[in-house]
């Protein structure tokens, strides 16, 4: 009787999780498919995501029991949320910054507890695939019919496409593994699921490359290339080697800060050149932005500078680097706590990869790492409009780890 109750409870949690994520997906689709929706709701997205994540947290984690057990991750989460809020008050920051950090922390906390089996993953991945097909062949041609006047800027359109594409690739992995279970690996592509998997992967990757190059979007192009290297070129056995695995994670996180420092130092020499296929020069202003943020940060390293600051090097307040964003805006202590949460997740992900029960967690992990590396140049990893994607990928990895 007890096992039946547990199964029923798990099923109920799964349905609630899927329902919340589908609500978030609806908002995600409308944001990029309907420019007016984006304009009307953009300032509220962080709060909307926060409320959805709180609902997911309550559905998947017994908060009272975890507190009684003195769960380290929950205690760290609460402490970080409180410290982030206090720091932002001290520096008189806009409180929108709180939701950026809070949403990111909640996603990594939830990833270790969410009930997210393959059938739910398949539903979400199918939604991404359907969204892409509508985007490629119906919405995109209308929004970008005239290159001189388009619905979104080049980086946004391309990044949305590639990020959604990489999430949709989870469906191709699921289809392939179902075909393997049915016919055996040596007969891959012999059945309808296998042929559909191959067709979708080919279509998505070709269209993704074409669109990223058409828009000359460096960040989106880097995201796609890094994923293809990590997923197709890196031997799968390497991910089971701790040294290699954690080196990649260190490069994806702390390496982001090292990149900022090196970029600023080299940019100060005056050297510059253009990349082929892209309209911008290598040093097109981020070196000045990052240096100005550094000069502000060193004055308030513990609390961070918040967002109620006007910078001279750019027309808007945008740090253009996800890890640097946490350090500069929220301070050293919050940044250190966020790194702890990330590497706590990385430890769970390592267990998922070594289980080798499915290729799905590794595929999701390589996509996630590709977004980390892309966010050397931007804040797509922590942008509220992409929170669902981050939740989807971390949920796949975290659920498999249990």
Q: What does the block give as tokens for 50?
A: 């926060």
Give me the residue spans of the domains in the chain: 2-401
Q: What is the pLDDT of residue 124?
A: 98
pLDDT at position 251 over 70: yes
Separation between Cα atoms, residue 159 and residue 162, nearest integer Å: 5
Cβ 21 vs Cβ 387: under 8 Å: no
Q: What is the pLDDT of residue 276?
A: 63
Closest CA to 359 of 250, 195, 240, 244: 240
pLDDT at position 71 over 50: yes
pLDDT single digits (tens) 324-337: 999 999 999 999 99
pTM: 0.94
Q: What is the pLDDT of residue 341?
A: 98
Separation between Cα atoms, residue 369 and residue 292, nearest integer Å: 28
Q: Which residues pair with 281 in a beta bridge?
A: 274
pLDDT single digits (tens) 270-281: 777 766 655 667
Rounded to 10 degrees, the C-alpha dihedral 310/311/312/317 comes to -100
Could you count the other beta carbons within 10 Å of the beta carbon of residue 94? 12
Q: Average pLDDT, stretch 163-192?
A: 78
What mean pLDDT is reported for the chain?
90
pLDDT single digits (tens) 342-401: 999 999 999 999 987 889 999 999 999 999 999 999 999 999 999 999 999 999 999 887
Q: What is the pLDDT of residue 1?
A: 47
Could you count the other beta carbons within 10 Å of the beta carbon of residue 332? 15
Cβ 116 vs Cβ 174: under 8 Å: no
Separation between Cα atoms, residue 350 and residue 340, nearest integer Å: 15
Q: What is the pLDDT of residue 208?
A: 79
Q: Average pLDDT, stretch 298-323?
A: 93
pLDDT at position 185 over 80: no
């Amino acid at each position: 009787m007890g096992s039946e109750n547990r199964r029923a409870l798990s099923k109920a949690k799964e349905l609630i999780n899927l329902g919340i994520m589908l609500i978030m997906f609806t908002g995600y689709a409308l944001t990029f498919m309907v420019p007016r929706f984006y304009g009307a709701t953009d300032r509220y997205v962080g709060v909307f995501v926060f409320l959805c994540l709180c609902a997911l947290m309550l559905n998947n984690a017994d908060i009272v029991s975890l507190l009684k057990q003195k769960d380290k991750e929950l205690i760290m989460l609460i402490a970080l949320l409180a410290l982030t809020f206090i720091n932002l008050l001290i520096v008189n920051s806009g409180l929108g910054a709180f939701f950026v950090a809070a949403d990111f922390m909640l996603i990594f906390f939830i990833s270790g507890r969410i009930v997210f089996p393959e059938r739910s993953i398949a539903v979400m991945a199918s939604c991404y695939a359907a969204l892409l097909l509508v985007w490629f062949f119906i919405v995109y041609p209308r929004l970008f019919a005239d290159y001189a006047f388009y619905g979104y800027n080049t980086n946004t359109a391309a990044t949305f496409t590639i990020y959604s594409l990489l999430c949709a690739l989870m469906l191709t992995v699921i289809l392939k593994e179902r075909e393997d279970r049915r016919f055996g690996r040596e007969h891959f592509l012999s059945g309808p699921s296998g042929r559909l998997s191959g067709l979708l992967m080919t279509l998505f990757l070709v269209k993704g490359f074409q669109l990223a190059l058409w828009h000359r979007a460096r960040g989106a192009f880097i995201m796609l290339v890094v994923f293809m290297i990590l997923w197709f070129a890196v031997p799968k056995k390497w991910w089971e080697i701790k040294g290699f695995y954690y080196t990649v994670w260190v490069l994806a996180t702390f390496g982001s800060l090292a990149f900022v420092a090196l970029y600023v130092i080299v940019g100060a020499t005056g050297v510059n050149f253009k990349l082929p296929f892209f309209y911008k020069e290598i040093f097109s202003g981020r070196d000045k932005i990052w240096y100005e943020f550094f000069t502000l940060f060193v004055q308030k390293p513990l609390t961070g500078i918040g967002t109620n600051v006007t910078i001279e090097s750019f027309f808007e307040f945008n740090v253009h680097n996800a890890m640097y964003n946490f350090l500069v805006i929220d301070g050293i202590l919050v940044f250190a706590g966020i790194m702890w949460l990330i590497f706590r997740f990385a430890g769970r992900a390592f267990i998922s990869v070594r289980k080798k029960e499915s290729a799905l967690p590794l595929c999701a992990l390589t996509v996630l790492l590709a977004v980390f590396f892309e966010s050397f140049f931007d804040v797509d990893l922590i942008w509220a409009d992409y929170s669902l994607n981050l939740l989807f990928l971390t949920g796949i990895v975290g659920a498999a780890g249990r």
